[in-house]
């Protein structure tokens, strides 16, 4: 704590680990005059470090937000947490700039004490994450803009290429972003299709926030919806099924995203649209309450086929 430079760093460190400190506190810790502390504060500010001050009694200096990040003073524990975090991001193909992850990793690993690095590497080698490798890469900037739009409830205009390869522009209210089996998806309401939809992020080519805002539906669970969306890709068959049970039971068994539910005297009328009827058919077999198929007739045919298949399986 002798040279001016170390003093400067010490002040920075003190301000980083304490919420706020008064000039006299700093002065006594560094054993220099308060006047010099004020001078150091100015020096730090000149360096772009946003030190702010509260005046008056109980006034103090504290770190504010700037445009640039000040040098971070971290201890060993924190460093290993940081490295581990970065490694996890890498393993999960998190939508963050790779350069950023690698840059931060390089900086940290280059200066970490040997013993610490060994510990972290051991953890890294020993831990197995249950991760499906993602075959595609996606642009972090898209994810960043998307998440901001989710946060601010801004509708989005985007260009999307469907799995079949056709590209289209859609107006979309994003409710959440979900990682599911190696891919990242945006879940929300598609104005073009007027339905809840799931879009794979790596198939979005353009994304633009609009002025239009929307209301986030209460209690919507993006994960649930993605799970469900995989069983029920939206499409051309209008399905109408009468569930002879209570609404509360339905809500336990089916996610809100599964379609619309209407209470009728005969039971709960469940409506949705699907391209593939098979998942719905299987779903119906799962239920432990009586079910009546209203629409479409094709679903009855599929049920017959399922019955035949089940019978065949039971005999062989």
Q: Which of 21, 26, 60, 150 binds a copy of itself (CB under 8 A)?
A: 150
CB hemisphere CA count around 36 (13 angstroms):
14
142 three-state secondary structure: helix
Question: Which listed option, DNA, a copy of itself, none, makes contact with residue 247 (CB within 5 to 8 Å by class)?
Answer: none
Positive or negative torsion for Cα 241, 238, 232, 178: negative
Residues 106 to 125: which contact a copy of itself by CB under 8 A? 107-108, 110-114, 117-119, 121-123, 125
Packed helices 76-91 and 98-111: angle between N→C axes, nearest 10 degrees: 150
Q: Binding mask 4-43 vs a copy of itself (x if CB under 8 A, - otherwise)? A: xxx-xx--xx--xx-------------------------x
Q: Binding mask 233-272 vs a copy of itself (x if CB under 8 A, - otherwise)? A: ----------------------------------------
**Paired tokens of 38:** 């004020």
Q: Which of 176, 197, 199, 258 binds a copy of itself (CB under 8 A)?
A: 176
Instruction: Kindly state the smallest distance separating residue 188's Cβ from DNA, in Å.
Output: 44
**Paired tokens of 290:** 């009586």
Q: Which of 211, 215, 218, 315 binds a copy of itself (CB under 8 A)?
A: 315
C-alpha to C-alpha distance for 92 and 86, rounded to whole angstroms: 10
Question: Which listed option, a copy of itself, DNA, none, makes contact with residue 307 (CB within 5 to 8 Å by class)?
Answer: a copy of itself
Could you tell me the CA-to-CA distances from 10 to 1, 51, 101 in Å, in that order? 8, 14, 28
In this chain, which stretch among 21-29, 146-154, 245-253, 259-267 interacts with a copy of itself, using CB under 8 A?
146-154
Question: Which listed option, a copy of itself, DNA, none, makes contact with residue 23 (CB within 5 to 8 Å by class)?
Answer: DNA
Helix H or strand E encompassing 239: strand 237-243
Is residue 53 a contact point for a copy of itself (CB under 8 A)? no
Is residue 94 a contact point for a copy of itself (CB under 8 A)? yes
C-alpha to C-alpha distance for 297 and 96, rounded to whole angstroms: 47
Could you tell me which of 137, 193, 200 has the C-alpha nearest to residue 170?
A: 193
């Amino acid at each position: 704590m002798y040279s001016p430079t170390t003093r400067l760093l010490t002040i920075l460190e003190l301000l980083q680990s304490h919420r706020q400190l008064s000039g006299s506190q700093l002065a006594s810790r560094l054993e220099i005059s308060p006047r010099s502390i004020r001078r150091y504060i100015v020096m730090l500010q000149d360096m772009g470090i946003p030190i702010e001050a509260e005046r008056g009694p109980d006034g103090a200096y504290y770190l504010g937000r700037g445009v640039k990040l000040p040098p971070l003073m971290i201890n060993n524990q924190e460093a290993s947490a940081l490295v581990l975090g970065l490694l996890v991001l890498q393993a999960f193909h998190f939508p963050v700039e790779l350069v950023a992850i690698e840059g931060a990793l390089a900086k940290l690993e280059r200066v970490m004490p040997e013993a610490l690095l060994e510990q972290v590497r051991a953890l890294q080698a020993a831990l197995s994450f249950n991760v499906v490798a993602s075959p595609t890469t996606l642009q972090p900037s898209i994810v960043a803009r998307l998440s901001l739009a989710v946060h601010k409830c801004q509708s989005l205009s985007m260009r999307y290429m469907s799995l079949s390869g056709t590209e289209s522009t859609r107006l979309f209210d994003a409710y959440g972003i979900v990682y599911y089996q190696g891919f990242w998806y945006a879940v929300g309401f598609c104005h073009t299709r007027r339905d809840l939809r799931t879009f794979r992020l790596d198939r979005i080519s353009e994304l633009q926030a609009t002025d239009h805002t929307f209301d986030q539906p209460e209690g919507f669970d993006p994960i649930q919806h993605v799970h469900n969306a995989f069983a029920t890709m939206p499409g051309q068959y209008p399905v109408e099924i009468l569930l002879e049970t209570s609404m509360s039971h339905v809500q336990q068994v089916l996610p809100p995203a599964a379609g619309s539910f209407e209470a009728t005297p005969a039971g709960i009328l469940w409506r949705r649209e699907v391209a593939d009827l098979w998942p719905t058919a299987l779903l119906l077999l799962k239920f432990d309450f009586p079910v009546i198929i209203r629409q479409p007739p094709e679903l009855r045919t599929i049920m017959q086929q399922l019955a035949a298949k089940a019978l065949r399986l039971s005999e062989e």
